[in-house]
A and B are shown apart, each in its own frame.
Chain A
Amino acid sequence: ILNVEQSPQSLHVQEGDSTNFTCSFPSSNFYALHWYRWETAKSPEALFVMTLNGDEKKKGRISATLNTKEGYSYLYIKGSQPEDSATYLCAFRGAYKLSFGAGTTVTVRA
Chain B
Amino acid sequence: ETGVTQTPRHLVMGMTNKKSLKCEQHLGHNAMYWYKQSAKKPLELMFVYSLEERVENNSVPSRFSPECPNSSHLFLHLHTLQPEDSALYLCASSQDAGAAKNIQYFGAGTRLSVL
Contact = CB atoms under 8 A, between A and B. Distances in A.
Interface of A: 4, 31-32, 34, 36, 41-46, 49, 51, 89, 91, 93, 96-103
A81 to B, nearest CB: 22
A89 B43 contact: yes
Interface of B: 2, 4, 40-45, 48, 56, 90, 100-101, 103-109
A93 B98 CA distance: 11
B43 A100 contact: yes
B101 A43 contact: no
Contacts of B106: 36, 43-45
B20 to A, nearest CB: 20
Contacts of A42: 108
Given A43-B4, A93-B100, A96-B56, A102 B41 contact: yes
Given A34-B104, A43-B2, A89-B42, 19 more contacts: A4-B42, A31-B100, A32-B100, A36-B106, A42-B108, A43-B90, A43-B105, A43-B106, A44-B90, A45-B106, A46-B103, A46-B104, A49-B103, A89-B43, A97-B48, A98-B104, A100-B43, A102-B41, A103-B42
11 contacts: A4-B42, A43-B2, A44-B90, A44-B106, A45-B2, A46-B103, A89-B42, A97-B45, A99-B42, A100-B44, A102-B41
B19 to A, nearest CB: 21
B87 to A, nearest CB: 14
A98 to B, nearest CB: 7
A7 to B, nearest CB: 13
Nearest to B1: A43
A26 to B, nearest CB: 14
A102 B108 contact: no
A99 B48 CA distance: 13
A98 B106 CA distance: 13
A44 B40 CA distance: 16
Nearest to A97: B45
A31 B102 CA distance: 11
